Structure 1
Amino acid sequence: MTESIADAGAATETGPGGIRIEDVTHSYRSTSGDAVLALDDVDLTIPEGEFLCLVGPSGCGKSTLLNMVGGFLAPSSGRILRGGAPITSPSAEIGVVFQSAPLFPWLTVRQNVELGPRYRRRPREERRRLADEHLEIVGLSEFVDARPYELPGGMRQRCQIARVLAHEPQVILMDEPFGALDTITRERLQLDLLRIHQARRTTVLFITHGVDEAVLLGDRVVVMSPRPGRVVLDIDVPLARHRDADEARDLRSRPEFIALRDETAAAIQPS
């Protein structure tokens, strides 16, 4: 009974699509057999609808934490909950966008995006409607019949985002999704993602090495220490969220943006 009351409290605190990370520690054995402590006592609450950016030096456990939130990996101690319920395995309610777009090359762009609704057993007409709606959102309406290998990297990443959105998850996890893209494409997709988040208000956990990217995208920025990963900075980003390309460029030169960027950068210690 006590556990159910606690879980109900977590659901109230975060909302049904919110994430609660409670005192999570994770260790593993290296190839030489030594015990390695990857994460140590990480405690975070991500309210429903928040866009949280997670930054830190390489090897600090960012991706490990994301994999645990996704249900792919169990913490050594502590627990992770979505809407008050413990996450113990991957779920249709949690979508993942990876750095490289894992699309099926033998399917068209539309067919790739239809996979989520198909998994949910939506009727064929509804699957097509959802796919086309989300491909329009990411600007790929003219490429619905193309194969992924016919598209440049930025378009493939747009297709991956559309596929995750069409699955209608409550939470989206993004592991450096723009890291391999050129600067122009990355900045365009950053603004697309901001626009989509403003429209959908889906909970997002976004991992990045880019401090500017974190401050630009996040409602909140969390910095982790070198291994073992611990939270060393947790700050809100009180900046306007509705931006076009010109506004985003102007924002980066504002004193408040620079102050947040510098505070975040100063908290990142090399591993």
Structure 2
Amino acid sequence: MVVSVLFSCGSRKRKHKSSKSKHRTEHVQRKEDSRKIENTDTPAETQEIVVPKAVSSTDEYIKLYSDIAMEEMKFYNIPASITLAQGILESGSGRGRLAVEANNHFGIKCHEWTGASIRHDDDEDQECFRKYKDAKYSYRDHSLFLTERKRYSGLFELDIDDYKGWAKGLRAAGYATDRKYPEKLISLIERYQLYTYDDVVTGKAPKRAKSSLSNPEDVHYVVKGDTLYSISRRYNISVKELQKLNGLRDTTISIGQALIVKS
């Protein structure tokens, strides 16, 4: 799914929606603040783009961008779990063309953008999308959009870690036309336990969990064929210790689950 941007300057113009895209999400032009998006006034032909690291899986995407999502949560009070889930969904876990070639993880279109850009088929053929110097600026643009659009103000009255409320609220406020958008976000958050990053920011996570989530080497993401025993052998730790570190009552684990593997 690719996100389109609508802008509000006096009167608001609606864009024609073609049959190419069944569901659509929207973004609006945002004002610059003290943490403005870089490269807006850098000529496209001279701007240096940080080539993103190739992402092979959703687990790797989470490891690469979780720190950025948590930082955005600290600045803008948007759950890191929501930001990560939207990034995963909108960018295809960082493997979509806009993410790979333009560091654009939320499908934000040009509209008065003076920096580098890329052409990509969306609602219409070869539309203009923003090209960021670094993916972190795409995350910042996403944060500014949600905080500066009045229709989303109600979301910030929810508990900061209420990811279910945020997922449903985004759809209700008009962020996406896909009726299953909230369920998709919630499914990603629960499958990959993205709510743990909210806990790190709010301080609800145990100290050992904070340390582990900050260091990807201390976390193992369960893949098909894994068992607690095989994981314990891999990290030279006992099954009992694994259970203790992760609050497990038995040996049941699920694909995508994040396990702390270092005490």
TM-score (norm 1): 0.25
Q: Which has the higher contact order (CA 8 A, sep 6+)?
A: 1
TM-score (norm 2): 0.25
- The structure where strand makes up a greater share of residues is 1
